[in-house]
Amino acid sequence: MEYIQKLDLLTTQRAIEFLRHRFQEELSSALSLTRVSAPLFVKKDSGINDDLNGVERPVCFDVLETGEIMEVVHSLAKWKRMALAQYGFPMHTGLYTDMNAIRRDEVCDRLHSIYVDQWDWEAVIDAADRTEAFLRQTVEKIYGAVLTAADCLAEKYPVLDNYLPRQISFVTTYELEERYPDKTPKQREYAAVREYGAVFLMQIGDRLKSGEKHDGRAPDYDDWTLNGDLLVYNRVIDDAFELSSMGIRVDKTALVAQLQKENKEERLALPFHKALMEDRLPLSIGGGIGQSRLCMLLLQKAHIGEVHASVWPQSEIDRCKEIGAVLL
């Protein structure tokens, strides 16, 4: 498929500003969220940093004045839950923030960069909300915010069309494995978005019937039975495209069970985990929504480097030259 840039460089920057502002308004309204400030780094021994799949190395540095070792965040999954308690958010309200991270071990390609920017959000829920139905309702609100922002963008820039389906579908990783036992997880995701256009792929982190995981998830923030990824079909690159990873967070029971499955029980001695086990943190739901991902999708770009500045291996630079994509 031939790649055609629909917006020039300057118009792209203006469209990014418009889209980010519009989506933030829709998201905060849909989920009753208030914007707060967030850290770029946290203490290494705090247990707050997201360890993603458990193998990624955080960027570390020492503080001259105190000698403490700090880690640049991978995400704010645990920090947000602590912030909910600190700010005292009422039931069914919460926070969102601009999360900026450096993921030094990321393999760079058209969708991945060592620089990550996303809207991290978290909201207080009740024990009765820890259900698949409540998760689905929240996903539909977020997807509705995406659709509204996309409609507004297409109205302002008519060269862009909103081809996303008006409804999002739901399927589990176990159902996809049964449908496509001979496909890889990524191939299953592609099959799902080609069928549905937009899908929330649920229950990520635990092992499937095959004994393999669909994808990795840290054991101490999402409840693996009540989480998922929001995926859409990206027409420009003809691929499955992840916009958000989110879920209902672990309670005490889920935390202990998932740490045991991953042989990570020693984490129960860390400050975050102690606070959760001692009922000093609220039950919550939360996630991250890629800022550059959303811009790349709705501005119909072929590479994430067209909507944010980073550094790239020569192979990516050469590939972008071939298709006419301008890296920032």
- Report the interhelical angle of 291-298 vs 132-156 (nearest 10°): 50
pLDDT tens digits, one per residue of 183-207: 999 999 999 999 999 999 999 999 9
Give the pLDDT confidence of 139-151 residue by residue, as tens digits.
999 999 999 999 9
- 9-323 homologous superfamily: Bira Bifunctional Protein; Domain 2 (3.30.930.10)
Amino acid symbol at 287: G
Name the strand (E) or helix (H) holding 250: none
| pTM (2 d.p.) | 0.92
Count CA within 13 A, CB hemisphere, residue 232.
23
Nearest in space to 217 (alpha carbons), one of 38, 56, 46 = 56
Neighbours of 163 (CB within 10 A): 13
Q: Which residues of 174-200 are buried (b: 16+ CB within 10 A; e: fewer)?
A: eebbeebeeeebeebbbebbeebbbbb
To the nearest whole number, what is the mean pLDDT of the chain? Answer: 94
3-class SS at 221?
Answer: coil
Per the CB < 8 A criterion, the answer to whether 222 and 191 are in contact is: no
User: Which residues are annotated as catalytic?
Assistant: 50, 103, 118, 229, 242, 245
| Alpha carbons 20 and 146: distance in angstroms, whole number | 11
Closest Cα partner for 246 from 38, 77, 89?
Answer: 77
Identify which of 53, 43, 86, 88 has the alpha carbon closest to the alpha carbon of residue 221.
53
Q: How far is CA 12 from the centre of its chain?
A: 23
Could you give the 3-state DSSP secondary structure of residue 326?
coil
Identify whether the C-beta of residue 94 lies closer than 8 Å to the C-beta of residue 33: yes
Count of Cβ atoms closer than 10 Å to residue 98 Cβ: 16
> What does the pLDDT look like over 8-40, one tens digit per residue?
999 999 999 999 999 999 999 999 999 999 999
How close are the terminal C-alpha atoms of the chain, in Å? 23
Task: Tell me which DSSP letter residue 268 carries.
Answer: G
- pLDDT per residue as tens digits for the range 80-130: 999 999 999 999 999 999 999 998 988 899 999 999 999 999 999 999 999
Residues ≥6 apart with Cβ < 8 Å to 226: 130, 131, 132, 135, 202, 203, 247, 248
